[in-house]
Structure 1
Amino acid sequence: MQQQIEIKIKFGERKVVEFWESVLNYVMVYKAKRYLQENYSSRAIEPRETQMKVSEISRINSHKNEGELISQHGLRKPKYIFRVHTGFKWNKYNRTHYDNKHPPKIVKGYSFVIYYPDFVGRTPQYSIENDSGSSESCLIRFFAGPPYEDVAFEIMNKEWDLSWKSGFRCTFWGGILRLNFFFKQFSYRR
């Protein structure tokens, strides 16, 4: 197949050359993976990327809220990691009312890593919904569709800093949705 594609690209038989070049790249990657599987599958050494994925999965399995939960509709709850970024804010008010033993701890942002290993379809999405109980908190809901249930988390209702420099990231690659954001920091001035 590789030789046929190379001949067609060389003689210009195919009108969309970029497409066939990308197909050729996939064929070469596939051949390399097959070669590694056939020749090195019995060795204990794994590529760095595989080791990282295994460590991420083991971290997920240790999380208390996880598991392959199946609901009445036959949908599975995706595995996830949810992290709260906290810090201290030593403004003038907090310096007079707090000390080093009892610091003014605040929520600075959140990180979400949600695993959709069997997902086929369009990119999973998230939405922000008002929490009826409080104006200080809201819900962030992640939805991907079958075979996964929606997952929702309660977060602080503050304005996000969507700049790349401040740490905002939203990516979906390899069945893993990552969302990382921090809140805007406003300084008090008279």
Structure 2
Amino acid sequence: MAERGRPRSFDREQALLSAQDLFSRHGYEGTSLTDLTSAMGITAPSLYAAFGCKEELFKEVIRHYQTNEGSFSAAALNANTTARVAIEKMLNGAAQNLGATGGCLVVTAATKCGAANETVDAFLQENRIAKTEEIKSRLLRAVEEGELAAGTDVRGLATFYGTVLQGMSIQARDGTSRKALKAVAAAAMLAWPVSAPQQ
């Protein structure tokens, strides 16, 4: 059965990028529907028809971001390298990418929402936790492969590097240069555990 109503007359990709720019600059709560429809070049009814509501639009923007500008960390962690090189690539990728974009949208768009938007806050929290879990999985593999010692505190190490990654995003949002962010990455790698020598 054919869809009723007028066909969508906008570029969805461009609309998402326009919305992403607003959410990046003003956060979730600081971006109004009027701001969004104006930037995206669509009417409010068209926004609802295409995305459902502001919250669903935001979630789609986050997913779009994660598979594009924000994909550097997953690419580094999934690369066919040692875990140490993977973590180093992730942090240097953060310095390069976050320094250019002014921070990670998942971190900066809503560090804490009001009661009316708790579901958005929970959605972003889940995404941040998932990134730390992704780091943890890579470190567990390093233990299994003998790159890291069996007694390595994988949870603590993953939380540390996840915290550095999120902190770099905040620093980038505050205007910290790529050079300074790369220095943060280099300093963080000094915390990499030294494996016990093979017997």
Fold match by TM threshold 0.5: no
Bigger proportion of residues as helix = 2
Instruction: Indicate the structure whose relative CO is greater, using CA pairs within 8 Å and at least 6 residues apart.
Output: 2
**Rg larger in structure:** 1
